[in-house]
Amino acid sequence: MLGVEGNVHFVGVAGTGMSALAQMSAFKGERVSGSDRLSESREFSDSRTRLERLGVKIFPQDGSGIDASTRRVVASTAIESDNRDLARARELGIPVVHRADELAALAAGYRTVAVGGTSGKSTVTAMIFHILETAGRSPSLVSGANLISLRRRGWLGNACKGNSDLLVIEADESDGTLTRYRPFLGVLLNLSKDHKEPAELEKLFGLFKERSGRFTVNADAAGLSRFQDGGPSFGFESGRLRGADLELGAGFCRFRVDGVRFELPLSGRHNADNALAAAAACLELELPLADSARALSSYEGVSRRFERLGVGRGVEVIDDFAHNPDKVKAAIAAARLRCRRILAVFQLHGFSPARFLRPELTQAFAESLAPEDILWLPEIYYAGGTAAKDISARDYAESLQALGKDARFSPQREDIVAEVAAEARSGDLVLVMGARDPSLSAFARRILEGLASPAQMRPKSS
């Protein structure tokens, strides 16, 4: 049981999953602290302010945030065993709880809707929450991305405490922990190689379904036929809940479901799929399709999910979290609806993922990039740890060049700002993609600033 006595300390509180749980503990009245290696960084300053506003005390990741009054320490698989906070907890005999177990304990007190799949979880989670909130159901939320609507209220954006028994969460497959939840409703979006091989993911998603009270699945997604079993499903090509009359344009997607017209202020086929999934989930919660359509017409999106930063010299700049092959293809397809030429920047997130996904990511770019498009590849983002640095973004660039693509390796990421400004012309779109690196959004904004003042931007000498 989670209680209100004693301090709860979250290791890696700058991460979206951890910061969401820290906020939920604060919302419940628990005394909360957190640490992060980025605790004093410029990138974390805004999030730090928003967390501290809720009473979350932030410490360096040096063990100083843990003492005899600490009730439990929460950490994720990403935190290495020699972390000084974890060492301090062991010295004092303080229990260390995995992030997934903390979330599972929280979810057990609600009628929980858990969204699983290798792509689209954050968006569908946000859409379900928005539909339920707009309909007056007062849900709670634990998400892996910040909702723009919640940020406008002054919150961090990835957590909210409602007044009902409904909770909407992401069920993360990256570390296999989605099998620890027992949701009232499980939603499965898709299955493709990302953090794990498809065969391993299929087993995890099978356990996810077994532990869900109700379950709905995307009938159009490859590899998910075994999860349908005649139960609730959705899709544009097949499924019990069927979308039709799909229209895609620059800044919108439209479709109909059982005569109800949906129109969202979002680009991309993947967002039509996401919206249909959210409507299907809410239908399982006995919310009419008309209510979902009405709510989604005002959906504002989440940070770094095809987030429009602005326009400079007629060139639009988009910031996106895309990091696996399907997400890359979806982001580029959505961008194609809005421009003549794409100037893409893709930053790989970690040496192990770069090695694991190299064939699939190379193919995704080879299939998606048009002859006039340009792709910049800065060096792989290194988040620390003991990863073998035996692969480089240069390897990706050379593979794509051999396939006839204009792919450019840029070892100094800041050089890209001036290079994009020099290349860009009115009608182009700059698409910045990548995960994990908290400085990517600021980098994308510097590209926008460089477009506005190209004469002031010069490449650094190498």
Give the tens place of pLDDT for each residue, 147-163: 999 999 999 999 999 99
Which of 142, 97, 140, 141 lies closest to 2, judged by CA?
97
| Rg of the chain over all Cα atoms, to the nearest angstrom | 22
End-to-end CA distance of the chain: 57
Q: What are the E-state strand segments in 204-336?
A: 214-218, 233-235, 241-249, 252-257, 260-264, 307-312, 315-320
Same domain (yes/no): 79, 133: no
Same domain (yes/no): 263, 349: no
Section 308-322 average pLDDT:
96
Please classify residue 41 by burial: count the beta carbons closer than 10 Å to its beta carbon, then call 0-12 exposed, 13-18 middle and 19+ buried.
middle
Same domain (yes/no): 72, 152: no
Same domain (yes/no): 397, 452: yes
> Sorting pLDDT into bands at 50, 70 and 90, what band is 176?
low
Q: Is residue 19 part of a domain?
A: yes
> Sorting pLDDT into bands at 50, 70 and 90, what band is 5?
low
Tokens, residue 17:
């999953």
Give the pLDDT of residue 1.
36
321 and 121 in contact (C-beta within 8 Å)? no
Section 194-199 average pLDDT:
83
Q: Which pLDDT tens digit goes with each residue over 274-286? A: 999 999 999 999 9
Number of other CB atoms surrounding residue 209 within 10 Å: 17
Alpha helix (H) residue ranges in 312-392: 325-336, 351-356, 358-368
Tokens, residue 145:
């991305």
Domain end, chosen from 266, 296, 326, is at 296
Q: Is residue 262 part of a domain?
A: yes
Q: Is residue 383 part of a domain?
A: yes
Same domain (yes/no): 82, 34: yes
* Residue 76: CATH number of its domain: 3.40.50.720
Give the pLDDT of residue 37.
83
Q: Are strands 315-320 and 185-188 parallel, antiparallel or unpaired?
A: unpaired
349 and 317 in contact (C-beta within 8 Å)? no
Name the domain count of the chain: 3
Pairwise CA distance, residues 18 & 23, whole Å: 9
Q: Which pLDDT tens digit goes with each residue over 30-49? A: 999 999 887 788 878 889 99
Mean pLDDT rounded to a whole number for the chain:
92
> Sorting pLDDT into bands at 50, 70 and 90, what band is 436?
confident
Q: Is residue 1 part of a domain?
A: no
Same domain (yes/no): 162, 69: no
Same domain (yes/no): 94, 112: no
Q: Is residue 14 part of a domain?
A: yes
Q: Which pLDDT tens digit goes with each residue over 111-122? A: 999 999 999 999
Section 422-450 average pLDDT:
95
Q: Which pLDDT tens digit goes with each residue over 73-89? A: 999 877 888 899 999 99
Give the pLDDT of residue 132.
98
Same domain (yes/no): 73, 124: no
**Is the predicted pLDDT of residue 375 greater than 50, yes or no?**
yes
> Sorting pLDDT into bands at 50, 70 and 90, what band is 24?
very high
**Is the predicted pLDDT of residue 317 greater than 90, yes or no?**
yes
Rounded percentage of the chain residues whose pLDDT exceeds 70 = 96
Same domain (yes/no): 225, 286: yes
Domain end, chosen from 272, 296, 320, is at 296
On whether the pTM is more than 0.85, the answer is yes
Give the pLDDT of residue 386.
65
Pairwise CA distance, residues 197 & 214, whole Å: 26
Same domain (yes/no): 78, 203: no
* Residue 244: CATH number of its domain: 3.40.1190.10
Give the domain extent around 341.
307-456
* Residue 360: CATH number of its domain: 3.90.190.20
Same domain (yes/no): 164, 93: no
Q: Is residue 260 part of a domain?
A: yes
Which of 184, 183, 157 lies closest to 171, judged by CA?
183
Q: Which pLDDT tens digit goes with each residue over 260-304? A: 999 999 999 999 999 999 999 999 999 999 999 999 999 999 999
Sorted by sequence, the CB contacts under 8 Å of residue 46 that are 6+ apart come out as none
76 and 18 in contact (C-beta within 8 Å)? yes
Domain end, chosen from 75, 98, 121, is at 98
Pairwise CA distance, residues 378 & 356, whole Å: 18
Same domain (yes/no): 242, 317: no
Which of 24, 324, 4, 9 lies closest to 168, judged by CA?
24
Q: Is residue 301 part of a domain?
A: no
State the DSSP H helix or E strand holding residue 71, giving kind and residue range, or none if neither. Answer: strand 70-75
